[in-house]
Structure 1
């Protein structure tokens, strides 16, 4: 692990695995997690000869935890700072959940600098919550409850949210581990990024994507409803949808082997 400092002085934790490989995959986690969520993608990717770059978004994992800066614009700028620091070119950018919305903002705000393919994994995009003229997603009140829970009993919120991630049964150990990962975030970041999930609107970002895009989404997702994947696919020219019939929000846990196989095929094509 090392740090890249952003233009507002925040240090972003960066993990660069297999750095001499010719092909790079840059993974961006979701709310309220860290890079550790991709543990079971690292080995398959490295074994296929990929360089794997991961970050902890500001406020999460081992990155600095400032009091502000939790907009999609700011976090997309953080990704850009890492891309420039590592001189990444012709890489695949992949974002999970909130990370999917942030990488979409990167594509729009930084014109997809360096990106040759985009992967949206259970992406909270183009916007998570319903709004006038947009009937998809979840009610804003649902995300208000996440922010309120993070303000009063964050461990209980994390346990409740963890119970929403999966459709298939998993061990208690996995559930406990995900709770530990989530609690490594700061309380401020957890609250403010929940507000970003509620308020940010990325519908205009979709048309700015001009690279091959894969939309990977579970049909049983209770966090980011599957209809948002359809909206995202339709909004991005020539995007390909990879539905996972047995998966909830945690597609690379509910259908781990199938997800890894599909993801590797997407990277290779």
Structure 2
């Protein structure tokens, strides 16, 4: 079922809550520039196996409210905390993809991992999406600046170009159109503001050191958005973490190798992979 959670800021966050009677709960945080629908191929399977799957649309994306501000990781993690409080979630697995993975890491540090028993990161944009003087991995600052410029000048073209780099396995033209449509559902100002956050955010390096719970890191070796070296840095920086490479995946590993992806998540939540 779908419903809204109103935060203290007055912003309403859309929540897709599937199989509320499930034995264990997974809270999914989507990546840029999509929404909870990115996890369609998890929501088709995991509830059948008895899991409660919750997907939220971050502010500015999908069906959530689209205020003009609040797209830094602190505020976005506060939004997640508001949903966790409203739903009274305890002992759940927090699972984040790409920017959602970065938000999950900030949540663990800023909110002391409230309610979280396990963390899953897939193609996470951490500890830094872009190259820095002390971190030679990631994409260039200029590439992100081009995304921001493209958002303001021709957002559909920018989204098409981004979609072309997202998956490693072949996708059909209808699937590509569907993926493109998710990006169009976001507010243009939110799309650009989150990209700006990638440029300025550097605290994830220290955030990772504060995580002590079991953490599963899933990452495609062909990822062109968040390079595989980011996963290796996460594995090194997070205690009690395990890295599982996906040999036939790009950034969209939850679809590129969806069967393996779902199996790894279920093994992890059932204490069989760490």
Question: Normalization by structure 2: what TM-score?
Answer: 0.97
Q: CA deviation at 1:134?
A: 1.5
Any idea what the Cα deviations from partners look like across 1:68-127, whole Å, max 9, x if unmatched? 000000000000000000000000000000000000000000000000000001000111
What does residue 209 of structure 1 align with? 211
Distance 1:46 1:167 in 2: 27
Distance 2:217 2:54 in 1: 20
* Preserved contact between residue 96 and residue 122 of structure 1 (Cα < 8 Å): yes
What does residue 68 of structure 1 align with? 69
SS of corresponding position for 1:51:
strand
SS of corresponding position for 2:268:
helix
SS of corresponding position for 1:92:
strand
What RMSD, in angstroms, separates the aligned Cα atoms of the two structures? 0.8
Q: CA deviation at 1:63?
A: 0.3
Distance 2:199 2:147 in 1: 10
Structure 1 unaligned runs (5+)? Answer: none
What does residue 124 of structure 1 align with? 125
* Preserved contact between residue 129 and residue 199 of structure 1 (Cα < 8 Å): no
Distance 2:246 2:199 in 1: 25
Distance 2:196 2:175 in 1: 27
Distance 2:267 2:174 in 1: 30
Distance 1:82 1:246 in 2: 34
What does residue 176 of structure 2 align with? 175
Distance 1:167 1:67 in 2: 34
Q: Post-superposition, which runs of at least 4 consecutive aligned residues in structure 1 deviate over 3 A? A: none
Moved more, 13-22 or 48-57: 13-22
What does residue 268 of structure 2 align with? 266
Distance 2:144 2:155 in 1: 14
Q: 1:28-177 alignment to 2 at 5 Å?
A: 28-177=29-178
Structure 2 unaligned runs (5+)? Answer: none
Q: CA deviation at 1:8?
A: 1.3
Q: 1:239 aligns with which of 238, 241, 246?
A: 241
Distance 1:143 1:253 in 2: 24
SS of corresponding position for 1:24:
strand
Instruction: State yes or no: 1:229 paired with 2:231.
Output: yes
Distance 1:212 1:248 in 2: 24
Moved more, 247-256 or 155-164: 247-256
Any idea what the Cα deviations from partners look like across 1:182-202, whole Å, max 9, x if unmatched? 100000000000111222121
* Preserved contact between residue 42 and residue 52 of structure 1 (Cα < 8 Å): yes
What does residue 259 of structure 2 align with? 257
* Preserved contact between residue 89 and residue 115 of structure 1 (Cα < 8 Å): yes
Distance 1:198 1:119 in 2: 24
